[in-house]
Structure 1
Amino acid sequence: MKTWRRLAIPYLIWGTGMLLLPMLLIVFYSLIQPGNEVTTFRFTLDNYIRFFTDPDFLLILWRSLTIAIETTAICLLLGYPIAYWISRCSKKTQNLMVLAITLPMWINMLVRTYAWIGILSKGGPLSIVLGWFGIKDAEILYTQAAVLIGMVYNYLPYMILQIHSSLTKMDPSLEEAASDLGASPFQTFWRVIFPLSIPGVISGITLVFLPAISAFFIPKLLGGGGWFLIGNVIENQFITVGEWNFGSAISVIMAMIMMLLMSLVRKADRKASQKEKNA
């Protein structure tokens, strides 16, 4: 046991240096303001008060939460049927489909998002297709719809892979038992398959929602600056405005929101796992 503990020391050092210390530094910056001639800095909660008392920042936070929820919901509605269909295919077909889903992820996300600018712009492929249905000169790029499309495109594979993994681990004999007991295909899905796949659904929701709420370059590229989300605010405070203290405070607020959401998701995951064991 002592040997294993010694082997864990390098990872503890790495985790402390690369994860804990930067987070503590951000918390420290969020609690200070430049001082006067006597002190170099002073501790204050003004950065947090400024965020929660400014309606513009609260509106941006609400917009970020809304788009993240919409992205997660669309990914779930699209991802579950796709994952379910893939899990019903042969092993060879499953491997090919999973490869087809993960293949675009080998390309940098920034490059893939740039490609959508050409697709959504006037005269692009999507504009041409919409023209066939009588929808001409549709303004899609630099709108909320464009941001949502970019979000769903980039994060949908995470939802599919998590749900597919959960479905493939399911014992096939449970479906056979439900069928032998007279359950219809819909009843089998709703009472057996779906409840047992909830851990994969929860994992997919986590992997989609958390990056979606803090995304900054997708809204920047596809929203054209018209859809400013909380990730863009943090980037702007650090890079453009230079107010590191306020940017750190927003980062801490977002980290606390994410930790709260992750705790709720973990609680739901434990309940789902308990139901699966009882089944």
Structure 2
Amino acid sequence: MESWRRHPLVFWAMGLPGIFWLIVFFLVPLGFVWLMSFGEKRGIVDIAITGTLENYLRAFDPVYLGILFKTVRISLIVTLLCIVIGYPVAYVIAFSPPKVRTWLLLAIMLPFWINMLIRTYALIAVFRTRGYVNFTLEWLYGLLRLDALFGPFQPLPMLYNEFAVIFGIVYVFLPFAVLPMYAAIERLDRSLLEAAADLGASRFHTFLTITLPLTRSGIASAVLLVFIPALGSFLIPELLGGPNAYMIGNVIAAQFKKANDWPFGAALSFLLMYATFAILAVRPLLVRRAAKGEGAR
């Protein structure tokens, strides 16, 4: 840090390009969208910035509140599933031999090499009426001669509903949960686990009293990395969900693309952003509490 203070020109020479990029291509467009949220739609393409709060008040209509609550519910379910599924995976990776650990980490990061749109379309082939899942179930149904007892096989409705949306979001964001939890478990002081074993604690008791509390920071990071993107998801619900599985991201996209009501879409976007900022403000409190717990031990 002192070296940067001794050579401020070097610091500014390295930092200015990135700062310029963020200001011009992120903050300035974001500012225009924020101003647009206080505007009124006049005609097809004309928008007048009048300072009105009508767009924000309209967002509290029961219809949009219902979609928002559904979005929060789906996002919470997705986050819980990612933590429950991802923590054992991260635990196994952290305690694997170094050579095996490298391959397991590669398997976790492999989905990042494939475009999310392609992965989502692949789920359509898996879940559709004549997809791989229903085809396999139909084959097992016939193999076990269940048609004689229950009649012909009826394909499961696995697409264009909330199940498909939840599964798709978990499928896409699970690596974002595994990696921070793995980092937290990998940094764990193994001598504490050995001491607990020497004192006669069972593995389950050691996990509940030592491993889990000391890796809360990784769990908190995983919650944020999954919950916040899940709130704004619109591509996965658009492709895998039906009309009853639309999330707030789909409503925002529809305001910009179909309804051509940019002020209302901007207001919805910033309400979602304000909620995101509120969630981000909670993380330092959780990390600080976890740090106090570690210090007490």
Query: Normalised by the size of structure 2, how large is the TM-score?
Result: 0.88
Letter of the 1:94 partner, please give it.
R
Structure-2 change in CA distance of 1:15 and 1:144 (3 Å): same
Q: CA deviation at 1:17?
A: 1.9
Which runs of 5 or more structure 1 residues have no equivalent in the other structure?
none
Give, in whole Å, the separation in 1 of the partners of 2:10 and 2:271: 36
Letter of the 1:3 partner, please give it.
L
**Is the aligned partner of 1:187 residue 2:213?**
no
Give, in whole Å, the separation in 2 of the partners of 1:168 and 1:230: 36
The alignment partner of 1:241 has SS state of coil
Structure-2 change in CA distance of 1:198 and 1:270 (3 Å): same
2:291 corresponds in structure 1 to 273
Q: CA deviation at 1:278?
A: 3.6
2:55 corresponds in structure 1 to 47
1:129 corresponds in structure 2 to 136
2:258 corresponds in structure 1 to 240
Residue range with higher mean Cα deviation, 121-130 or 61-70: 121-130
Q: CA deviation at 1:163?
A: 0.8
Query: Normalised by the size of structure 1, how large is the TM-score?
Result: 0.93
After the TM superposition, which residues 50-129 of structure 1 pair with which residues of structure 2 at under 5 Å, given as runs? 50-52=58-60, 54-129=61-136
The alignment partner of 2:246 has SS state of coil
Q: CA deviation at 1:5?
A: 4.0
The alignment partner of 2:215 has SS state of helix
CA RMSD of aligned residues (A): 1.8
Q: CA deviation at 1:4?
A: 4.9
2:150 corresponds in structure 1 to none
8 Å contact kept, 2:216–2:290:
yes
Q: CA deviation at 1:40?
A: 5.0
Give, in whole Å, the separation in 1 of the partners of 2:58 and 2:73: 22
Sequence identity (%):
36
8 Å contact kept, 1:33–1:44:
yes
Q: CA deviation at 1:124?
A: 1.2
Give, in whole Å, the separation in 2 of the partners of 1:192 and 1:3: 47
Give, in whole Å, the separation in 2 of the partners of 1:207 and 1:65: 15
8 Å contact kept, 2:82–2:174:
yes
